[in-house]
Amino acid sequence: MRVTFLGTTSQNGGSPTLWMTDRGSLVVRGYLVTDPEALAGLGEVPPGEADVEVPLGLLGFYPAPAVPVVTTTAAAGESAEEGR
């Protein structure tokens, strides 16, 4: 997988940082979520995955897609557009 640096709001090269992949996905370096209340709300994390917090300002580096992105994670009763 190849990654292309999109941007960061970090002053020291750390978190948060955003990359785009050649597979049509994003890679984020964010802050590990450690707050017990937030973790309880997020549920169990599958092996090989992690929950990270990404400041919304970082998403300004993401170029808008030419076509709408369809997601499959919208909550029940929401369209994919409403779930974003």
pLDDT in tens, 32-61: 899 999 999 999 989 998 888 888 888 888
Q: Is 51 helix (H, G, I), strand (E, B) or coil?
A: coil
Predicted local confidence at residue 80, as pLDDT: 44
Predicted local confidence at residue 82, as pLDDT: 44
Q: What is the mean pLDDT of the chain?
A: 80
Predicted local confidence at residue 70, as pLDDT: 60
Buried b / exposed e over 25-60, threshold 16 CB at 10 Å, is eeeebbeeeeeeeeeeeeeeeeeeeeeeebeeebee
Q: pTM of this prediction?
A: 0.64
Residue 56 Cα distances to 9, 18, 63, 76, angstroms: 10, 11, 14, 24
Q: Is 3 helix (H, G, I), strand (E, B) or coil?
A: strand
Predicted local confidence at residue 36, as pLDDT: 94
